[in-house]
Amino acid sequence: MTNNSHIRPLEILRLDSSSRYADSVSRHLTDHLVTRLLREYPEANVTTRDLAAGLPLPNEAFVDGSLYSMQNPTSVMQEAMQISNEMVAELITADVVVLGMPLYNWTVPSTFKSYIDHVSRLNTTFEYVDGVSQGLLRARSVYILFTSGGTGIGSEKDFATPYAKYLWQTLGIQHVQIIDASGLLFNPEEKIRNAKTQIDQLVLPVFE
């Protein structure tokens, strides 16, 4: 059911972290979920960020600029932080985040880790209050499309989903839902079909 009471267009942020393109299952599933959201919210805006498209690693100028020198950043710091500022702005604006996340070597892709290093910014996306970190993001939900070859979601070899869930909640997004498309080495068509069923049966939050 479309929520017509939403007073402004829903802002959807799509993040793809797979190094693959045409044959990427996680990208295929993010397509499916974004399509589902657009059926519910046809006026929504979708911002797509391809994390595999040459995202730079944070360097010393970035660290200095983000932690110590924002009151008077040098030109080198400003240049190093440009893409970080763009991604932080996208994340702050988002109402819902859709993340395609394959499992690489039992953990998250390096593309996603680099993204997190860029957007986890003190006093911007999180802060400390009485020594306790508090998230500052306003997004209502994160949906993670989790894919793997053989490692099962939540198994002792899955170091990706606990990390990703903790991370988003630390930044302030408490509703983190994982769509399970793990074990694609075995009956891949069935696993993809089941993941699409999970997407189609999602009870979406009401955005007002």
Q: What is the pLDDT of residues 136-188, one digit of tens each?
A: 998 889 999 999 998 988 889 999 999 999 999 999 998 999 999 999 999 99
How confident is the model at residue 207, as a pLDDT?
A: 63
Class of domain 11-200: alpha beta
Please report, for the chain, the start and end positions of each structural domain, with discontinuous segments joined by +: 11-200
Residue numbers of the chain with a pLDDT score lower than 50: 1-5
How confident is the model at residue 52, as a pLDDT?
A: 94
Structure-block tokens of residue 60 = 């010393």
